[in-house]
Structure 1
Amino acid sequence: MSIRAKALLAAFLVTAAAPVPALAQAAPASSIPAPSKEARPALAALQKAVNENKTAEIPALSQAALAAAKTPADRYYAYQLQLKPAVASKNDDQLLAVLEGMLGTGLAQGADLANLSFNAAKINYNKGAADAAASAKAATQIEQALAADPNKSDYYLVLGELRNRQKRPAEAVAALQKAMALDQAAGKPVDQKVSDRALAFAYNARLPVARDLAVANLKAAPNPKNWRAAIKITEQVGNLPATDKVDLFRLQRATSSFEGEADYYPYVDVLMTRGLPGEAKAVLDEAFAAGKLDKNKPMWRDLYSSAVTRSAGDKSAPNGDVYLGRGDYAKAAAAYRADVAKGGAGADLANLRLGIALARSGDKAGATAALSAVKGTRSNIAQLWMMYLERSA
């Protein structure tokens, strides 16, 4: 992933022309020693060419200024004067040479040190996709930037990408979380792209924090994409039996967050296996009507035919699950209340499904009480249904 520069480097001490937009201000005059007497003529000639935008003369005058340099301060000024034309050139190699030249003098301090290091790190990161040495330099430079200024969210974004490239996903996620926290503290909205990136790092590395990130994304933006991510990660990390997964699939149905066959099949399959063909038929009817599944595809055609036949001849004794599958939420709630009253090991499952039935019927108070009573491994499922409840009409 390439990191795009937003803007580069305001004018530094001896650049008399208008500053390049947007970053740190010039260092105070006392922070860098004055140039030596020997270097001043070459520096003055270079400054004149830069101020008058004589771009053809600048490369030779830059080399002359560096050749005349006797002190670190002389070299700093020689590179600093090249900064504006290097930015204007849009040549990353040229700009990197200038940035690293200034850093190499050891004279940059404070905000200037942070700013120079950050911009050098961005360029080296982009080069590092094909150059391990450049990536290593980028890591050193971004750490240097953060040491000089630990409160810039952009710095942590670069650090996060570098740590991910270095196969250090936990640190990558932590860096992106720090960036988001700094933006929030500054009153800025969380960047969804950054949040998605942190979630991708955590999910790909199977980090426990992945579910927390998915839920945070969902709270910030309860759209179908984020509902699906939170539901699927909860399913994958929860080691849930199929009988419990069906309650997550039902939440996908309620939030319209199915994406395709891979989402629909486990739901329909578990419904048919558990003897709930009426619910399977209803799910397939919705998917066909919405164009999410091809009803003429043999797999779905056969499943649908089986669901229709079995639901028409279903003589099973009604219970909470059957009523819930049929959408008869009042009868489902009554059955689950009876199960809750029995107590024992089945109370958590009964409370979960009581909460689902009440949530689907619009009884927020009752659903909240039931879902809040769910403990153990099913509590994560109850948490998501509670979020659905909070956002339902």
Structure 2
Amino acid sequence: MQITVGRAFVALLAAGVAAPAIAQGSYGSTAPQQSRGAPTPDQQEEESAAPSRGAPTGSAPAKEEIQGGIKPSKGAMKPIVELQKAVAANDQANIPAKLAAAQAAATTADDKYLVAQFQLKIAAAKNDLPSVASAVDTIAASGKIDSQKVGALYRGLGGSFYNAKQYDQAAAAFARAVSVNPADIESLKLVGETQLAQNKRPEAAATFGKVIAARNAAGQKAEEDLYKRAVQLAYDSKAANATQLAREWVAAYPSPDSWHNAIAIYRNLNQPDVESTLSLLRLMRATKAMTNPGDYALYAAAAADQRNYNEAQVVIDEGIAAKVVDPSSARFKDIIGPLKTKPIATAADLATASKTAATGAALLGIGDRYYALGDYAKAVDAYKAAQSKGADAEVANLHIGMALTAAGDKAGATQAFNSVKGSRAAIAQYWLLYLQGRA
């Protein structure tokens, strides 16, 4: 890709960082001016072709300094004026010597700032990036222009290095732009683009995550494409922040697509057990994110693995009704055939089983079958009874939260999900995210 800010430093010459016209005894009044913001790409094209401002005419009284407090030293005045004349005349034969003489004579910050402006203009015209970088560093060190303009200069420098495929230098320039102007979110994004060009995918994912956070902090909702890129990069590189970025994506842009991807990323990176897989697939079903046959096949197989044939059958029936599951396919024949031979518990069966269940695990299973039947109140009762008989408290609380969510008890579900700790806490937080987004 090409970065369009590559010539921003040229545009800035016409936007207030221009080399001032100097005449001994009658100094000009063109620099520095108040910043009017970074130019747009169109403005850059127009301004980069604009001629530099000439010396003011008329009978203005002599001044000892240029507007803004710039005051060349006496020793540097003559070399700087001669450099200005050579640049104005495009005297390529003498410009190098005049520049060297002016640099040698520059002793004060003002001198160095003025000479660096001319150096910047000369180097930009030749696309001499090392000299451009040197000039920008000198201008930045002078303290004569504000941080926004300094940041814009480094952003432009970084763009030029990027387009020249000098990515290390580009990354350093963009990072410098951010360091002098932390509010420059665009330069931070360009740091990520450069890291991507360097094939530093985990670093790019982390930087794009910072861009998202910065935009949110500034009250600017990051675009969904940025979330998608950050999540994809983090996932591909198995970065530690992949799951967090996916959660942030679905929080900002909840949809069947974002939910499907966020849940799939969590599953693929964490390899949860069957119990946790079912909890995630139930969330996928609740968010209407089951969009392909594989989702239904996995869900039905996981439910059947726990002998919850009620839920397995419900899911298969839903897939067929949605025309996503083809019951005649070999894949689903292998699922549907055995299901036909399995017992599907009725409400009466579950009521009887609840009275005789001796273990917490048995009561958890009963609760899951009530959940499959849509009787969420009785499911919650079974899960709570399971807790009292030694069932895994994290599993029980997670299931209570799911059942209360389905029942519309937002406060109760929130309390249950917040009670889940340990390895299943992340799954509970996904459910809590879904719950908070419901009306």
* TM-score bracket, shorter-length normalisation: 0.7 to 0.9
Q: Does 1:197 align with 2:237?
A: no
Aligned partners of 1:238 and 1:377 also within 8 Å: no
Q: Distance in 1 between matches of 2:93 and 2:301?
A: 73
Given the alignment, which residue of 313, 330, 336 partners 1:281?
A: 313
Q: How does 1:142-221 map to 2 (within 5 A)?
A: 142-166=174-198, 168-169=200-201, 171-221=203-253
Residue range with higher mean Cα deviation, 109-118 or 359-368:
109-118
Cα pair distance change 1:182/1:373, threshold 3 Å? closer
Residue 248 of structure 1 deviates from its aligned partner by 0.5
Aligned partners of 1:7 and 1:21 also within 8 Å: no
Q: How does 1:196-275 map to 2 (within 5 A)?
A: 196-275=228-307
Aligned partners of 1:340 and 1:350 also within 8 Å: yes
Cα pair distance change 1:98/1:63, threshold 3 Å? farther
Given the alignment, which residue of 104, 109, 116 partners 2:153?
A: 116
* One-letter code aligned to 2:368: D
Number of the residue aligned with 1:51? none
Residue 250 of structure 1 deviates from its aligned partner by 0.7
Aligned partners of 2:157 and 2:170 also within 8 Å: yes
Q: Does 1:30 align with 2:70?
A: yes
State the number of aligned residues.
Answer: 358
Number of the residue aligned with 2:361? none
Q: Distance in 2 between matches of 1:107 and 1:369?
A: 59
Q: Distance in 2 between matches of 1:368 and 1:168?
A: 39
Number of the residue aligned with 1:13? 18
**Percent sequence identity over aligned pairs:** 29
Number of the residue aligned with 1:89? none
Q: Deviations over 1:192-237 (max 9, x none)?
A: 3333333233322323322222222222222223222332233344
Extract unaligned runs of 5+ from structure 1.
47-60, 87-93, 129-133
Aligned partners of 1:14 and 1:77 also within 8 Å: yes
Number of the residue aligned with 2:162? 125
Residue 156 of structure 1 deviates from its aligned partner by 1.5
Larger Rg: 2
Cα pair distance change 1:40/1:314, threshold 3 Å? closer
Q: Does 1:387 align with 2:433?
A: yes
Residue 121 of structure 1 deviates from its aligned partner by 1.6
Aligned partners of 1:271 and 1:277 also within 8 Å: yes
Q: Distance in 1 between matches of 2:2 and 2:261?
A: 25
Backbone CA RMSD of aligned residues: 3.7
Aligned partners of 2:123 and 2:132 also within 8 Å: no
Question: Could you state the TM-score of these two structures normalised by the residue count of structure 2?
Answer: 0.69
Higher RCO (C-alpha under 8 Å, 6+ residues apart): 2
Q: Distance in 1 between matches of 2:216 and 2:123?
A: 37
Question: Could you state the TM-score of these two structures normalised by the residue count of structure 1?
Answer: 0.76
* One-letter code aligned to 1:183: R
Q: Distance in 2 between matches of 1:235 and 1:285?
A: 24
